[in-house]
Amino acid sequence: MTKNEYIESLIKADKIKHTVDKSINFQFQIGSKTLGEEKVLIAGPCSVESKDMIIDVSLKLKEIGVDALRGGAYKPCTYPVRKSVNGWKEGLQKEGLEYLLNAKDKSGLPIVTEVMDASKINLVSEYADIFQVGTRNFQNYTLLDELGKQDKPILLKRGTWGTLDEILGACERIIEGGNTKIAICLRGVVGMPSYRHIFPSTRWAPDLMMIPALKEFTNIPIIYDPSHATGYRNFVLPISKAAMALNVDGLIVECHPKPEKSISDPDQAITFNNLKKIKELFKN
């Protein structure tokens, strides 16, 4: 069996169809850029923490030349903390969405933010320019089907377990509804047991080989997330370089005015100065 005979068999069975259709244009606009034609840099904090914080970040990012602002208002975590613990409410939610809009008004940057379930699509749609589907919802078919009926673009994050055919299959669910504005976001996968990994604290392993694997079959743009893929700020620049060398269509990077103080994902956030170094990779 050749390596791609399995995928070919799914194509023959019509299970994989639209994603491999080279006549479909999956490109969409992010700010002034066309994703798929020009490389795009998305950046921002893991979570929206306050109004002032997200506005300040957005202005800084605009100055650096970032194309879109990311920030979680609905913030699922890997560990399912009970709501009663530490008052954790998984993000500022609607308030966070309002602050993102304030930041967009000030900076002009389009907003990328997560929608966690189908019942929130209408609400999030009032604020987001691009819907982010988080890794935990990669196979939430109700959500994918509903997003397929939207006309805003989708940034679909790979489930940490997702195989090549499952990535294409998840995109098929969205496209089936009529929405062809999709970007696949690779964000690291389950790796070795933590005691055999780089550090015991390393959660995910970078999934760089999936970039050329996907490009063999589909024209859907690919955005790499070096922040979640590494979980460690010192690795974000080198893995960004690797992803750019593999010809990704864009990067999504977590940054913070005081990285170690980030309310979520503090180990992987980078400073604005380091973000500037990543921006340098886009000048060729």
Strand 222-224 to strand 154-157: parallel, antiparallel, or no bridges (unpaired)? Answer: unpaired
What residue 135 binds from ligand PEP, Mn ion, none (CB within 5 to 8 A, per partner kind)?
Answer: ligand PEP
Which of the residues 164 through 193 are near ligand PEP (CB under 6 A)? Answer: 187
- Contact status: 46 vs ligand PEP (CB under 6 A): yes
C-alpha dihedral sign at 54, 201, 246, 248: negative
Residue nearest ligand PEP, Cβ-based: 134
Which lies closer to ligand PEP via its Cβ, residue 7 or residue 274?
274
* 62 backbone dihedrals φ, ψ, rounded to 5°: -60, -45
Which of the residues 189 through 218 are near ligand PEP (CB under 6 A)? Answer: none
* Binding window for Mn ion (CB under 5 A); candidates: 24-32, 45-53, 135-143, 229-237: 45-53
Q: Cβ 9 to ligand PEP, closest distance in Å?
A: 30
- Out of 42, 46, 170, 252, name the contact with Mn ion by CB under 5 A: 46
How many residues bind ligand PEP, per CB under 6 A?
Answer: 7
Q: Are 223 and 40 in contact (CB under 8 A)?
A: yes
27 residue type, one letter: Q
- Out of 58, 135, 202, 274, name the contact with ligand PEP by CB under 6 A: 135
Q: Cβ of 43: how many Cβ atoms within 10 Å?
A: 28
- Contact status: 259 vs ligand PEP (CB under 6 A): no
- Contact status: 49 vs Mn ion (CB under 5 A): no
Query: Which runs of E-coded beta strand occur in 140-269?
Result: 154-157, 182-186, 189-190, 204-205, 222-224, 250-254
**DSSP string of 6-56, one letter each residue:** HHHHHHHTTSS-GGG-TTS---EEETTEEETTB-EEEEE-SB---HHHHHH
Q: What are the residues binding ligand PEP (CB under 6 A)?
A: 46, 72, 134-135, 157, 187, 228
